[in-house]
Structure 1
Amino acid sequence: MSRPLLDPATLSAIKDLSLVARTVIDGFMAGLNRSQVKGTGLEFSQYRSYQPGDDLRWLDWKMYARSDRYYIRESEMETSISVRILIDASNSMNHRDGPLAKMDYARYLAAALAYLAYMQGDAIGLYIFQDGQLFSLPSRKDPQHLSRIFYQLENIQAAGKFTEPLQYKQLFTGERRKELLIFITDMYQQQGEISGLLSSLAALQHELIVFHLIGKNELDLDFAGYTTLQDLETGKTVSINSAEMKKAYTEKLQQYLAATRMQLLEQQIFYRLISTDQPLDKALRDFLNQRQKSLT
């Protein structure tokens, strides 16, 4: 029987972010038994639900302790890395599509990824780009640290412009061991500041993944009842009340998205565009399927 997908607007009614993360990952794990997904960093062995008669030696007791459910680990791949989650919390992340802001989707996605990395035994760090500053929780792998990350994610308030380069020092002082950097952003930039940061991070030769969040109303230019839009960070307004404008917007948007994707791929940065109306467990499965194909 198929499992209902986890609509992000529905999840927004759950105030406990750790519960959101467990709910999303439980749905995600339910889909892993249909397709084995592996990849460097956030490496997943194949799981399936325990069935009577299964060899008890292959029960994943850590998974049971965390989810209160029995899973069989069908293959094993040793991995222990530092996963650093970077979140753009500048004011443009307050953009809404219906009841859900990009910032909300970012916090749910980050919480799910942090919980998943924790279950694998990876160290997790959190870095928040907000109002010109950089908040950081260096990578650790203990339950208390995961709780701290959930707390910070719950309390993020998108504000101001993107972080000033002067604050980046903490990003370049990580350990020398292998790291995975996951950057969640809407890629809104005024002077190439995000592209510059990504180039600098790519030079560290760690693995870098970018989740580019975009509202469905941005993709479709569907702002019913409005004739002008205001930039959340600059305050500038633009008219959207003509068919010609919508056609030009759509063409430029597609060119921009294609150029962004190519620019990042040329720097060996894994890129994934996500519309904020997409269910989170589906977004994770699609991401890992795409990632697996790119690694084979």
Structure 2
Amino acid sequence: MSKLLDPKVLMAIKDLSLSAKMTIDGFMNGINKSTVKGPGLEFSQYRSYQPGDDLRSLDWKMFARSDRYYIRESEVETNIAVRILIDASASMNHSDGDFTKIDYAKYLGASLAYLANLQGDAIGLYVLKNSGIFSMSPKQDYQHLARLFYQLEQINPDGKFTKPIHYKELFAGAQKRELLIFVTDLYQTDDEIIKLLDTLNTLRHEIVVFHVLSRNELDLDFKGYSTFEDLETGETIQIDQTKARANYKNKLNAYLEETRIKLLDRRIFYRTICTDEPLDQALRDFLKQRSKLRI
């Protein structure tokens, strides 16, 4: 694995676009753009003629040699719209060491956007916070990508998760299925994030949820701290970490399993990702889900 996929190395590079480029250039080394069979320019293979096939695709030279009808299939690049959703509620300010969940989300979002752009996909950005939603509709060009990087850099988490608005109208898009990637810590008080996902699910798009967690909240190891504050409500609580750790981990594991099943039941791809984990698996998950949208 390249050191450029190490989040500590990535976040030492303050230029988000440079970090994304270096990450993806290393990750994509030797990987070609995805292709599908279709009426393109580059030859792929022959197959037997079937009733209803376009006669213009018949290969008459093969017919002359074999006295049988064959169709020439070729390869075309697939292009889709990828919408990146970033949770910018205050809980994303949670830190572990030198960087926060939102830092990790920014670098992950930037890397995914660069990778999608490299594959010829249109990329959109949606930042969800209490004051509403900032949106950039999907588009495919370098200037749009540069603006997307700039908007990612400007994210400053604040307040609770966004209040319900016209999600369906905002994400309806074109008639084709799209890939929606949601980077969030899934901190919610009234299932508001699940309700958002339910709404998006009715649009029949492919949805990927990256559930961002920090190592200290996974292990309940806050290096001597005993007072904890809710970043969204300001409420505080006293905890003896040593005594609480076993019970905490049991409840956390139960919560994560319950969340996984909830999203699995909704046919939403779900992966927990820790802020100290390299980005390579998240990028592979993206490519895997993207391949399902070949039309």
Whether these two folds match at TM > 0.5 is yes
Question: 1:91 maps to which residue?
Answer: 90
Query: What is aligned with 1:118?
Result: 117
Q: Distance in 2 between matches of 1:76 and 1:270?
A: 28
By how many angstroms is 1:81 displaced?
A: 0.8
Q: Report Cα offsets for 1:238-267 as digits up to 9, x if no partner.
A: 222153311111011000000001100110
Supply the distance in 2 between the matched residues of 1:76 and 1:217 (Cα, whole angstroms).
Answer: 47
Which has the larger strand fraction?
Answer: 2
Q: For residue 187 of structure 2, what is the aligned residue in structure 1?
A: 188
Distance between the aligned counterparts of 1:194 and 1:3, measured in 2? 34
CA contact (8 A) 1:131 1:159 kept: yes
Q: Report if aligned partners of 2:82, 2:138 keep a CA contact under 8 Å in 1.
A: yes
The number of residue pairs the alignment matches comes to 257
Matched position secondary structure for 1:160: coil
Map Cα deviations across residues 135-185 of structure 1 (whole Å, 9 max, x no partner).
000111111111110110011111111111125355333111221111000
Q: Relative contact order (C-alpha < 8 Å, sep 6+): which is higher?
A: 1
Residue identity matched to 2:165: L
Listed as ranges, the gaps of 5+ residues in structure 1 are 37-42, 46-56, 58-74
Query: In angstroms, what is the RMSD of aligned CA positions?
Result: 2.6
CA contact (8 A) 1:83 1:180 kept: yes
> Would you say 1:147 and 2:111 are equivalent positions?
no
CA distance in 2 between partners of 1:105 and 1:93 (Å): 10
Contact residue 211 and residue 274 of structure 1 kept, 8 A? yes
What is aligned with 1:50?
A: none
Is 1:19 the counterpart of 2:18 in the alignment? yes
Which residue matches 2:249? 250
Which of 1 and 2 has greater Rg? Answer: 2
Residue pair 2:168, 2:200 contacting (<8 A) in 1 also: no
- What is the TM-score with the length of structure 1 in the denominator? 0.80
- 1:201 and 2:217 aligned: no
Q: TM-score, normalising length from structure 2?
A: 0.80
8 Å CA contact retained: 2:229, 2:237? yes
Q: Are the counterparts in 2 of residues 82 and 179 from structure 1 also a CA contact under 8 Å?
A: yes
Query: How far did 1:131 drift?
Result: 2.4
Cα shift at 1:76: 5.9
The 8 Å contact of residues 134 and 167 in structure 1, kept in 2 or not, is answered as no
TM-superposed deviation, 1:290: 7.5
Structure 2: state its 5+ residue gaps. Answer: 36-41, 43-73
CA–CA separation in structure 1 for the residues paired with 2:92 and 2:83: 20
Quote the residue 1:61 is aligned against: none
* Aligned: 1:178 with 2:177: yes
Counterpart CA distance in 2 for 1:291 and 1:126 is: 18
Deviation digits for residues 188-243 of structure 1 (CA, Å, limit 9, x no counterpart): 00111001101111111111000100001110001012012111001122222153
Q: In 1, are the aligned partners of 2:184 and 2:211 still within 8 Å (CA)?
A: yes
Corresponding residue SS for 1:145: helix
Where 1:272 maps in the other structure, the secondary structure is strand
The answer as to whether partners of 1:28 and 1:282 remain within 8 angstroms in 2 is no
Question: 1:233: which partner in 2?
Answer: 232
1:161 is matched with 160
Structure 1 distance, partners of 2:123, 2:89, is 22
| Equivalent position amino acid for 1:266 in 2 | D
Equivalent in the alignment of 1:133: 132
